[in-house]
Amino acid sequence: MALAAATVTGAGPAAASPVAVFRGDGAITAHVTGEHPGYRCQIAAHGVDGPWRPVGADGVVDLDSGPLPAGRHVVSVLCENRDRGDASVHTVARNTEVFTR
């Protein structure tokens, strides 16, 4: 079975950094915790762009790439403040390898 899971933290102090946990199967999922409530996040990779999902009041958001071909994917999680738009985009997890089957 070709499943992969990875935990990746953002830059900065450990207590203040959001964390993303990836899992690969027929799609890539990411469970993000510690992000700012009200922001929105997405999985980004070659051939994957969104969808954006809102971060809940608890700082958690679950993301899904949708179906992907089997193989290695280098993914990131991007988040932004919806009120500030592109100027606020930051990376929670960068260039993480996830394998789908």
Domains of the chain, earliest start first: 4-100 (2.60.40)
How much is the pTM? 0.82
What average pLDDT score do residues 50-74 get?
95
Mapped onto helix, strand or coil, the DSSP state of residue 93 is strand
Mapped onto helix, strand or coil, the DSSP state of residue 14 is helix
Structure tokens at 27: 């799609």
Rounded Cα distance between 31 and 21, Å, is: 5
Structure tokens at 97: 């390898």
Who wins on pLDDT, 3 or 67?
67
Report the chain's mean pLDDT, rounded to a whole number.
87
